[in-house]
Amino acid sequence: MIEFDDVGMLDITLEEDAAGIGRVMIKMTDKCEMNLSSHQARILATELIMVANRVEVRENLKRNENMVRKNSTSSQSRGFFQQAFAK
């Protein structure tokens, strides 16, 4: 079960249909319910993982760009300082 601040809860369970075949049930409070086969659930999970990875990569790239910008400006200013007083 996953709890969200404003929305409520997301509950993921395994249930069997009348024929005894396992189904993945995803329920979001009382508003939404998804009844997925294992194949559909796997595709959904794969899509979620791929999107989450893209978000993490973008955030890391933004952080690294900011770090590079900060480091390059400070190293340049140190370099100019050292050049001014070089013998």
- Per-residue model confidence (pLDDT) at position 14: 95
Distance of CA 48 to the CA centre of its chain: 8
- Per-residue model confidence (pLDDT) at position 78: 56
* Distance separating alpha carbons of residues 24 and 13, to the nearest angstrom: 6
b/e map 6-26, b = 16+ CB within 10 Å: eeeeeeeeeeeeeeeeebbee
At 35-60, the pLDDT tens digits run 999 999 999 999 999 999 999 999 99
pLDDT tens, residue order, the chain (87 aa): 777 777 678 899 999 988 999 999 999 876 789 999 999 999 999 999 999 999 999 999 888 877 766 666 555 555 655 555 555
